[in-house]
């Protein structure tokens, strides 16, 4: 009897060792390297492709991790399939830039079913309860409202300092606004907060036009600005508010082509924006620190893949508001300080 029992114990031990081995294989490539399955919602996006993607690649290398970054081409259905492929390949961890922030639940459910940790970055989930539905999902991004508040404060200060900007002298800011992706927390918060800064400062505002673009693109900025300039209200525009630099670049092109100069602001602080500020074609932007957002994404991903507390040994901390998020601060970039942001 004793013997039968001890054989049973040995068999059990062998089985659990085999299980551990299988589990261990899932966590990493055969040589122990952490494999990160990542995407960018669209490689056509200036900020994502120009700032975040190169740093994700560079920093993964520095950390000795392997990263595969795929292009979701602005299609959530495509991203869903890409995540399925990553899961089949048994990546150690997922780093996902949602296409549709309202589709977070689908991705989280996939990761949870496969028991793979998930870091969402740049586009915060908008579905209530999505983040709470899995204990191994976290978010890396910003506090969206902060960018609008900073941009708004810059615009208010400049408006007050430049009475000639009120072209028709009615004490009201006649503005046009390039919004970016409808439903994107950054686009929504920037639109709300930048305009609110004027209202809070006791300055009246009149929106002449607002256009959204899911791709936040330069082409869109160019086309809309050109159309606005030749519209019935073209000569009434006193301020151009752009929710990102990519669209601002297009608006600047259109203004130059029409030989019109208008105060214009963006968000992101891309290198080209710093040049436009130097050339007096842009009045300000807001640093969206994609380099640090990329690093935080990977630091959390690597810890999560190893089953460690996600911020352990890193420069980051999770917000205390229960959103399981690391939020990298925004900074104002003006004609006075833009040189500090040059690389």
Q: Distance (Å, rounded) from C-alpha 42 to C-alpha 184?
A: 14
Query: Locate tokens 């670049």: which residue?
Result: 249
**CA 64 to each of CA 33, 89, 202: distance values in angstroms, whole numbers, following the listed order:** 7, 19, 53
Burial of residue 74 (CB within 10 Å: 0-12, 13-18, 19+) is middle
The window from 43-51, 126-134, 219-227, 311-319 that contacts ligand BGC (CB under 6 A) reads 43-51
Task: Write the binding mask 169 to 188 for Ca ion: x where contact by CB under 5 A, - elsewhere.
Answer: -x-x-x--------------
CB of 168 to ligand BGC, least distance (A): 31
Task: Return the number of the residue (169 or 313) whose C-beta is nearest Ca ion.
Answer: 169
Query: Locate tokens 């998020």: which residue?
Result: 325
Q: Distance (Å, rounded) from C-alpha 87 to C-alpha 37?
A: 9
The pair of three-digit structure tokens given for residue 291, joined into one six-digit string: 């380099």
* Residue 207: contacted member of ligand BGC, Ca ion, none (CB under 5 to 8 Å, by partner type): none
Residue 271: alpha-carbon gap to chain centroid? 17
Q: Applying CB under 6 A, which of residues 34, 36, 38, 45 lies at the interface with ligand BGC?
A: 45
* Residue 168: contacted member of Ca ion, ligand BGC, none (CB under 5 to 8 Å, by partner type): Ca ion
Q: Are strands 172-180 and 137-141 parallel, antiparallel or unpaired?
A: unpaired
Q: Applying CB under 6 A, which of residues 216, 228, 249, 330 lies at the interface with ligand BGC?
A: 216
CB of 13 to ligand BGC, least distance (A): 50
The pair of three-digit structure tokens given for residue 115, joined into one six-digit string: 């028991």
DSSP one-letter code for 118: E
* Residue 216: contacted member of ligand BGC, Ca ion, none (CB under 5 to 8 Å, by partner type): ligand BGC
* Residue 323: contacted member of ligand BGC, Ca ion, none (CB under 5 to 8 Å, by partner type): none
Binding of ligand BGC at residue 186 (CB under 6 A)? Answer: yes
- Residues contacting residue 112 through CB under 8 Å, at least 6 positions apart: 133, 134, 136, 137
Size of the site for ligand BGC (CB under 6 A): 13
Residues that bind ligand BGC (CB under 6 A): 45, 47-48, 122-123, 184, 186, 216, 244, 246, 267-268, 288
């Amino acid at each position: 009897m004793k013997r039968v029992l001890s054989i049973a114990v040995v068999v059990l031990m062998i089985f659990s060792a085999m299980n551990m081995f299988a589990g261990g294989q899932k966590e990493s490539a055969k040589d122990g390297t952490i494999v990160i399955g990542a995407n960018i919602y669209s490689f056509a996006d200036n900020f994502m492709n120009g700032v975040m993607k190169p740093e994700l690649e560079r920093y993964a290398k520095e950390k000795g991790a392997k990263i595969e970054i795929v292009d979701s081409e602005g299609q959530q259905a495509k991203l869903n399939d890409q995540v399925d492929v990553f899961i089949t390949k048994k990546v150690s961890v997922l780093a996902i830039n949602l296409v549709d922030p309202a589709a977070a639940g689908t991705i989280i459910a996939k990761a949870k079913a496969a028991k793979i940790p998930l870091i969402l970055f740049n586009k915060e989930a908008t579905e209530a309860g999505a983040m709470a539905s899995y204990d191994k999902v976290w978010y890396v991004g910003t506090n969206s409202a902060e960018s609008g508040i900073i941009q708004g404060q810059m615009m208010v200060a400049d408006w007050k300092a430049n009475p000639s900007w009120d072209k028709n002298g009615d004490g009201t800011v006649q503005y046009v606004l390039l919004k970016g992706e409808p439903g994107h927390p950054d686009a929504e918060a920037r639109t709300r907060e930048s305009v609110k800064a004027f209202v809070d400062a006791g300055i009246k505002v009149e929106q002449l036009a607002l256009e959204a673009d899911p791709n936040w693109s330069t082409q869109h900025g160019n086309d809309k600005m050109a159309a606005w300039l030749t519209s019935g209200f073209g000569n009434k525009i006193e301020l151009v508010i752009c929710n990102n630099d990519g669209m601002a670049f297009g608006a600047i092109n259109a203004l130059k082509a029409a030989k019109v100069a208008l105060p214009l602001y963006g968000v992101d602080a891309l290198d080209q924006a710093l040049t436009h500020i130097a050339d007096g074609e842009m009045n300000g932007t807001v640093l969206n620190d994609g380099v640090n957002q990329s690093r935080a994404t990977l630091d959390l991903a690597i810890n999560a893949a190893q089953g460690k507390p996600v911020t352990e040994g890193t420069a980051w901390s999770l917000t205390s508001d229960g959103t399981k998020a690391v939020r990298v601060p925004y900074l104002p970039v003006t004609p006075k300080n833009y040189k500090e942001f040059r690389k």
